[in-house]
Structure formats: structure tokens, C-alpha cells
């Protein structure tokens, strides 16, 4: 096998890697550990709600603390169980109860079927298992908002009430969310039970992200294979987008993979730019693929007009008239100009287009609309989407529009 020239430990940049040290999270870790400490003395720790924007280390720190507490409990012969549940993946009451049950008993699967029981029977089985085992369970409910939005908060009501039904064991919950508003949907009782304590993880700044990257780079890469500017550059890019450490780590990993693919000996800033482009197009691609058809038709209207208007500035009316042609051509029900105006605002918020209000002096104000993504990316995305590629082929054929590719050839 060829010797790895760049990576020493690839795993260190993967999403599942839990580092043993978290720069700039000392206070959060201390606060967290203090809340959970009573578990080591046999008392039930308070439930905790953790907030913070995406990529601020909530999941990684919570998993790290649970590992630590299990290790400590093992050394001191204390009975502590922990469970990690990602509520986006496991969002049914049945699934959540089953996951908790499994932490108490490896035979849970043989006792409780994966589906089919009434939920109160599963709940009873869980209570029984918890009391048979004794000890304290700490359950992480990550992305807890997914439980609330989808099924009301019944499951949280039952879970947080579980303690009062247990006689020989105790259970604590750590709820994690990047949506600080989700508690407004909660039943006040659930809200106060869950939020006995709360912690907030602030976004990182560029300097902090650079330290996180540098700690991780030491584990992941051989010496002197990464230009130090690369870390600074990745950190500043991620800091511009709400201080997201995940973004910075992904950027670093993709840059290194691209350099590796080129058989390069050293990862340079050039590769960060390439990686940034790849990540951007991936993000846009996932937005475009889930757009409803009316949104796609509106977006296509902007793209087609862009080819027509050299200054790239279109008004809502111009977008609307192209949109209407698309609807006619593809037998699509057409929306009112006002609704299309709303769609334009939403596409603006998603970063697909720019829509800025411009004053025309005495003639009042209008909105100038242009594409926010690069022409190459637009071409690629349109070619990949069945509906969008049909639109550009058909309407370009009809001679009304110049395709973006043609435009660039002129």
C-alpha cells in the first residue's frame, strides 16, 4: 500500500470523532460537569437544555462529558447508564423509549418487539427495566426540537414525568437544540421540567476556530504538510458564516483530500478555494433539489432573464412575465404576481438570488433581482434537474431567450 503522505489519522476530521480536549469550551464543560456531578453520589442531576447555533460543539461536548462520567462511574463502582438519541433520526415515542430501554438492558430487544406494542406497554416495560437495574440514567436528546415539531410534546411530557414513576432508579435528560425558540411550543410543565438548568454555547470567532483547527490538524496530518495559512483561511471563511466549527473542519478535510487527489505534497490555500466552491455547490444543490415546482419555475424565470438583460437587473414584473411563459409552456397552474413576489423574497433569503430595493427617484422604488450564484454553478445545477433543464432547453429553442452558455460565447 502506498504510504499516506498527507493524512496521519483521517478519522480525526470525521464528524463522529470526539476530541479529548475542547479549546474555548472550558466554561461550558465545567458548568455541564457540575450539573451532572450529583450522579456520582447517587443523586439525580437536573435536566439540562443546551442551546447554541450549528457547529458550536453541543453534540461533541455532550458525548464527551457522558464518556467521562461513565469512565468515572466505572472507577468508583457507581451505576450510571447513558443514552444518546438523535431525535431527527428517532422521532417516534416508540423509538425513543426503545433506545432508552436498550441502555438498561442488552436483552431489551428480546423482550420488547421493535414495533407493535401499545406505547403505554413499552413505557411500563421501560419503568420495570429501570427499577430492576437501579442506578441513574443520563439521556441525551439531541435535536430535541424534532420531537416537538412533529408529534406535539406528548413524548417529552411522559419522559420528563418518568422520574416520579420510578422507585429504585433515576433518570435525567439533556436536551440539545440549535433553535432557541423551540421551547415556545412546549407545554409550560414540560418546559419547566426540561429546563431545570440551561447552557448556551456561543458561536466561535475566527481566532478560536483557528485554534480548534490547529489542535485537530496535529492529530490528523503529518508534520509540515499543511501551509499554516490554510488554517487561518479556513477559520476566517467559517467565522464569516456564524462561527461554525464543523464548517471549518469540513473545509480543511476537503482541501486536504483535493491536494491528495492531485498528488500534491502540501495543502495550500488554492485547495481551500476549491473546497469552498465544492461545499457551496453542494449546499445550493441540496436547496434546489427540494424546491417546490413553483419555486423552480420562478428561479428559472430569473435565470432566463439574466441571459436577456445584460445589466443583470430585472424587476419583479419582468421575472413574472417569464414565469408566466414557463407556466404556459409546461401547463403549470400560475400564481399571482404577489405570490411570485413572496417566492422571490424566499429565494433571496436562501441565498439563491439577490433582490435589492432600489430608489428610482420620483418614479418610486423597485426591486432589482439578479442571480446570487455563479454562472457555472447555475449551468451545472440546471443540467442535473429534469424540470429545470427542460425549461432552459425548451425556452431557448423557442428563440426568446439566450441560454447562459450561449451568452458567455458571445
Q: Is 405 in the site for ligand ATP (CB under 6 A)?
A: no
Binding-site residue total for ligand ATP (CB under 6 A)? 19
Burial environment of residue 19 by CB neighbours within 10 A (0 to 12, 13 to 18, 19 or more): middle
18-26, 87-95, 147-155, 231-239 -> range binding ligand ATP (CB under 6 A):
18-26
Nearer to Mg ion, 250 or 260 (CB): 250
Do residues 213 and 231 touch, judged by C-beta distance below 8 A? Answer: yes
Q: In angstroms, what is the minimal distance from the CB of 214 to ligand ATP?
A: 10
Q: Is 351 left (phi over 0), alpha (psi -120 to 50) or beta?
A: left
Q: Is 22 in the site for ligand ATP (CB under 6 A)?
A: yes
- Choice from 45, 57, 93, 101 touching ligand ATP (CB under 6 A): 57
Distance, CA of 47 to CA of 62 (rounded, Å): 13
Q: In angstroms, what is the minimal distance from the CB of 3 to Mg ion?
A: 35
Nearer to ligand ATP, 162 or 249 (CB): 249
Using CB positions, name the residue nearest to ligand ATP. Answer: 57
Do residues 368 and 271 touch, judged by C-beta distance below 8 A? Answer: no
Sign of the C-alpha dihedral computed for residues 337, 341, 342 and 346 taken in this order: positive
Q: Is 308 in the site for ligand ATP (CB under 6 A)?
A: no
Residue 366: contacted member of ligand ATP, Mg ion, none (CB under 5 to 8 Å, by partner type): none
Q: Is 25 in the site for ligand ATP (CB under 6 A)?
A: yes
**DSSP structure class, residue 352:** S
**80-86 and 169-177 strand pairing:** unpaired
Q: Is 49 in the site for ligand ATP (CB under 6 A)?
A: no
Which residue's C-alpha cell is 463502582?
Answer: 77
Distance, CA of 339 to CA of 294 (rounded, Å): 10
49-57, 148-156, 357-365, 390-398 -> range binding ligand ATP (CB under 6 A):
49-57
- Choice from 60, 65, 126, 343 touching ligand ATP (CB under 6 A): 60
17-25, 230-238, 333-341, 373-381 -> range binding ligand ATP (CB under 6 A):
17-25
Q: Is 55 in the site for ligand ATP (CB under 6 A)?
A: yes
Distance, CA of 15 to CA of 286 (rounded, Å): 19
Residue 55: contacted member of ligand ATP, Mg ion, none (CB under 5 to 8 Å, by partner type): ligand ATP
- Choice from 147, 194, 245, 347 touching ligand ATP (CB under 6 A): 245
Q: In angstroms, what is the minimal distance from the CB of 56 to Mg ion?
A: 9
Nearest 5°: CA angle at 355, between 353 and 359?
Answer: 160
Q: In angstroms, what is the minimal distance from the CB of 86 to Mg ion?
A: 8
Q: In angstroms, what is the minimal distance from the CB of 60 to ligand ATP?
A: 3
Q: Is 58 in the site for ligand ATP (CB under 6 A)?
A: yes
Residue 19: contacted member of Mg ion, ligand ATP, none (CB under 5 to 8 Å, by partner type): ligand ATP
> Closest by alpha carbon to 66, among 272, 58, 158, 168?
58
What residues from 325 to 354 belong to the interface with ligand ATP (CB under 6 A)?
none
Residue 381: contacted member of ligand ATP, Mg ion, none (CB under 5 to 8 Å, by partner type): none
What residues from 152 to 191 belong to the interface with ligand ATP (CB under 6 A)?
178
Do residues 271 and 259 touch, judged by C-beta distance below 8 A? Answer: yes
Q: In angstroms, what is the minimal distance from the CB of 60 to Mg ion?
A: 8
**DSSP structure class, residue 149:** H
Nearer to ligand ATP, 66 or 249 (CB): 249
> Closest by alpha carbon to 230, among 13, 70, 392?
13
Collapsed DSSP state (helix, strand, coil) of residue 109: helix
368 membership: H or E segment, kind and range: strand 365-371
Do residues 6 and 12 touch, judged by C-beta distance below 8 A? Answer: no
User: From residue 67, how far is each of 26, 33, 71, 141, 159 by CA, in Å?
Assistant: 17, 12, 6, 16, 23
Question: CB-side exposure of 69: number of CA atoms within 13 Å?
Answer: 29
- Helices 386-397 and 293-308, axial angle in degrees (round to 10): 40
Q: In angstroms, what is the minimal distance from the CB of 132 to ligand ATP?
A: 33
Q: Is 246 in the site for ligand ATP (CB under 6 A)?
A: yes
Residue 378: contacted member of Mg ion, ligand ATP, none (CB under 5 to 8 Å, by partner type): none
Nearest 5°: CA angle at 290, between 284 and 293?
Answer: 110
Q: In angstroms, what is the minimal distance from the CB of 227 to ligand ATP?
A: 21
Q: In angstroms, what is the minimal distance from the CB of 178 to Mg ion?
A: 7
Residues within the interface to ligand ATP (CB under 6 A): 15, 19, 22-25, 52, 54-60, 178, 212, 245-246, 249
Amino acid at each position: 500500500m502506498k504510504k499516506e503522505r498527507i493524512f496521519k489519522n483521517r478519522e480525526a476530521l470525521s464528524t463522529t470523532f470526539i476530541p479529548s480536549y475542547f479549546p474555548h469550551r472550558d466554561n461550558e464543560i465545567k458548568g455541564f460537569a457540575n450539573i451532572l456531578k450529583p450522579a456520582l453520589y447517587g443523586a439525580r442531576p437536573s435536566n439540562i437544555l443546551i442551546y447554541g447555533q450549528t457547529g458550536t460543539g453541543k453534540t461533541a461536548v455532550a458525548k464527551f462529558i457522558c464518556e467521562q462520567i461513565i469512565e468515572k462511574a466505572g472507577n468508583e463502582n457507581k451505576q450510571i447508564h447513558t443514552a444518546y438519541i438523535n431525535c431527527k433520526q428517532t422521532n417516534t415515542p416508540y423509538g425513543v423509549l426503545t433506545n432508552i430501554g436498550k441502555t438498561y438492558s442488552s436483552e431489551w430487544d428480546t423482550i420488547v418487539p421493535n414495533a407493535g406494542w401499545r406505547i403505554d406497554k413499552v413505557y411500563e416495560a421501560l419503568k420495570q427495566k429501570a427499577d430492576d437495574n437501579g442506578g441513574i440514567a443520563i439521556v441525551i436528546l439531541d435535536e430535541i426540537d424534532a420531537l416537538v415539531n412533529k408529534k406535539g410534546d406528548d413524548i417529552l411530557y411522559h419522559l420528563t414525568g418518568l422520574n416520579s414513576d420510578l422507585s429504585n432508579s433515576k433518570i435525567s435528560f439533556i436536551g440539545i437544540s440549535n433553535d432557541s425558540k423551540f421551547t415556545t411550543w412546549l407545554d409550560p410543565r414540560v418546559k419547566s421540567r426540561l429546563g431545570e438548568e440551561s447552557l448556551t454555547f456561543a458561536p466561535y470567532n475566527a481566532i478560536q476556530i483557528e485554534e480548534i483547527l490547529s489542535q485537530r490538524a496535529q492529530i490528523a496530518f503529518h508534520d509540515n504538510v499543511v501551509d499554516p495559512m490554510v488554517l487561518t483561511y479556513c477559520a476566517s471563511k467559517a467565522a464569516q458564516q456564524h462561527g461554525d466549527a464543523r464548517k471549518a473542519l469540513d473545509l480543511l478535510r476537503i482541501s486536504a483530500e483535493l491536494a491528495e487527489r492531485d498528488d500534491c505534497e502540501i495543502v495550500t490555500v488554492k485547495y481551500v478555494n476549491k473546497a469552498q466552491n465544492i461545499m457551496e455547490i453542494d449546499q445550493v444543490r441540496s436547496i434546489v433539489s427540494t424546491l417546490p415546482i413553483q419555486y423552480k419555475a420562478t428561479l428559472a424565470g430569473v435565470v432566463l432573464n439574466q441571459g436577456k438583460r445584460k445589466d443583470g437587473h430585472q424587476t419583479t414584473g419582468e421575472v413574472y412575465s417569464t414565469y408566466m411563459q414557463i407556466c404556459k409552456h409546461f401547463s403549470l397552474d400560475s400564481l399571482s404576481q404577489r405570490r411570485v413576489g413572496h417566492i422571490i423574497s424566499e429565494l433571496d433569503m436562501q441565498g439563491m438570488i439577490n433582490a435589492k430595493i432600489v430608489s428610482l427617484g420620483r418614479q418610486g422604488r423597485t426591486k432589482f433581482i439578479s442571480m446570487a450564484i455563479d454562472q457555472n454553478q447555475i449551468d451545472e445545477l440546471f443540467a442535473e434537474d429534469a424540470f429545470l433543464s427542460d425549461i432552459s432547453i425548451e425556452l431557448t429553442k423557442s428563440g426568446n431567450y439566450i441560454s447562459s452558455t450561449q451568452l458567455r460565447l458571445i
